[in-house]
């Protein structure tokens, strides 16, 4: 996180009173974000029947889909997490994307290449995402999002996307609260817009897999891709919108690097292994570093003399971060047989489903982003619930903090 997000000039005038806000930040990762659903279901069971516990929701990529769905059912309070779980439980890959693979004998690199070349020619990407557009239109109640914002159930909903046109990282937010205002930082922009399906498709447009999506910004059209790209400060949007507490749920796995320590280094990586590694790099967010810096700066702010702290327009931010406790690559490897036949054959042709020891670290990495099938989804949700239970003490302490909505 850039220090200017938390610190301002000591000569700045005392800030006006503003609402205290608790934010939910959901990172990206394709099908892997079903893990977030499990964490939230676990959280809901810890909190019991209660009002919706967040004032701000910010999402990136598939995390933006989760966040917007939650905003549409926020009037159900903590039961909203169960509604999100029910949505994921009935989701299938064919409701997210379509891939028509060539069938020319056993899967191989040639047939996979021809399949992908044909897909790119037809859809400007490797996958046809029209099914996801249709799924979102069927299941998302966007007017309910507006009602939640207007009646104060939520203060703001925000989604992020990366502009292929300008190279800037954008946060699009919707709010009825006049204290939620746009901002601009080097390489980062924010603009108030009515969040629609097109914003979600842009935020979730995984590079190469999903086509770029046009959005209008500053009175002109730009093309956008996955919000995980160039996301240097994942927490900055929440802080700009006034969050004093942030629960962030990622789907990264810092333990992934250790999966190949015993691998045979002489084996050349397959095209699928390289593709999986490239996608892991896209979704290898700077979350942990951002969290650590936010916590460090917040501790410094909290230790300032009250007279000095009163001159600053920002206050310490309480950040709690949850991420998977086990490798999602290894979890996906147990469920790759569930993939639609066309997807499985294409990935097999690319060598992305190899089980050689040297490929074990990333063999299912590529598949894990597109594996929207019940076995993998349920395994992810169970893992998320287990991790929420494991961190129950920290979660209870986080939500036990003061919820007075007005702070100086």
CA–CA gap between residue 131 and residue 134 (Å, rounded): 5
Contact residues for 106 (Cβ-Cβ < 8 A; gap 6+): none
CB-CB contact of 171 with 189 (8 Å)? yes
CA–CA gap between residue 182 and residue 257 (Å, rounded): 38
Q: Is 61 a catalytic residue?
A: yes
Q: Which of 177, 226, 329, 345 is catalytic?
A: 226
Q: Is 226 a catalytic residue?
A: yes
For 313-339, the three-class secondary structure string (H helix, E strand, C coil) is CCCCCEEEEECCCCCHHHHHHCCHHHC
Give the closest residue to 56 by CA, choosing from 213, 236, 185: 236
CB-CB contact of 204 with 62 (8 Å)? yes
Give the closest residue to 32 by CA, choosing from 116, 88, 99: 88
Length of the chain: 408
CA–CA gap between residue 201 and residue 211 (Å, rounded): 9
Tokens 């966040």 map to which residue? 67
Q: Name residue 297's beta-bridge partners.
A: none
CA–CA gap between residue 359 and residue 376 (Å, rounded): 20
CA–CA gap between residue 391 and residue 42 (Å, rounded): 10
∠277-278-279 over CA atoms, to 5°? 90
H or E segment to which residue 94 belongs:
none
Report DSSP state, residue 357.
Answer: G
Contact residues for 99 (Cβ-Cβ < 8 A; gap 6+): 115, 119, 126, 127, 128, 340, 342, 343, 346
At 382 the three-state DSSP class reads: helix
CB-CB contact of 276 with 366 (8 Å)? yes
Just list the catalytic residues: 61, 226
């Amino acid at each position: 996180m850039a220090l200017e997000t938390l610190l301002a000039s000591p000569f700045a005038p005392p800030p006006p009173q503003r609402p205290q806000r608790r934010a939910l930040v959901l990172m990206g990762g394709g099908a892997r974000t079903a893990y977030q659903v499990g964490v939230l279901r676990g959280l809901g069971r810890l909190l019991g029947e209660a009002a919706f516990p967040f004032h701000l929701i910010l999402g990136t990529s598939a995390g933006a889909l989760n966040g917007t769905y939650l905003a549409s059912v926020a009037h159900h309070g903590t039961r909203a997490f169960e509604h999100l779980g029910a949505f994921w439980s009935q989701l299938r890959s064919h409701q997210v994307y379509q891939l028509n693979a060539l069938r020319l004998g056993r899967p191989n690199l040639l047939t996979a290449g021809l399949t992908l070349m044909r897909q790119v020619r037809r859809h400007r990407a490797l996958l046809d995402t029209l099914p996801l557009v249709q799924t979102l239109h069927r299941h998302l109640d966007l007017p309910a999002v507006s009602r939640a914002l207007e009646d104060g159930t939520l203060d703001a909903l925000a989604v992020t996307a990366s502009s292929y046109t300008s190279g800037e990282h954008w946060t699009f937010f919707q709010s009825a609260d006049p204290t939620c205002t746009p901002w601009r930082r080097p390489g980062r922009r924010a603009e108030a817009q009515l969040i629609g399906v097109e914003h979600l498709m842009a935020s979730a447009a995984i590079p190469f897999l999903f086509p770029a999506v046009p959005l209008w910004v500053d009175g002109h059209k730009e093309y956008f891709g996955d919000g995980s790209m160039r996301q240097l400060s994942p927490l900055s949007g929440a802080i700009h919108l006034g969050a004093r507490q942030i629960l962030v749920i990622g789907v990264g796995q810092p333990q992934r690097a250790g999966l190949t320590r015993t691998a045979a280094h002489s084996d050349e990586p397959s095209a699928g292994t390289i593709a999986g590694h490239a996608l892991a790099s896209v979704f290898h967010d700077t979350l942990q570093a951002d969290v650590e810096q936010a916590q460090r700066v917040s501790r410094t702010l909290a230790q300032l003399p009250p007279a000095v702290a009163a001159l600053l327009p920002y206050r310490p931010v309480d950040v709690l971060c949850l991420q998977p406790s086990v490798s999602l690559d290894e979890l996906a490897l147990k469920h790759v047989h569930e993939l639609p036949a066309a997807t499985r054959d294409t990935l097999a042709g690319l060598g992305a489903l190899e089980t050689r020891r040297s490929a074990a670290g990333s063999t299912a990495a590529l598949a894990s982003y597109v594996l929207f099938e019940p076995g993998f989804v349920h395994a992810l949700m169970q893992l998320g619930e287990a991790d929420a239970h494991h961190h129950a003490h920290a979660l209870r302490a986080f939500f036990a903090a003061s919820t007075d909505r007005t702070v100086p």
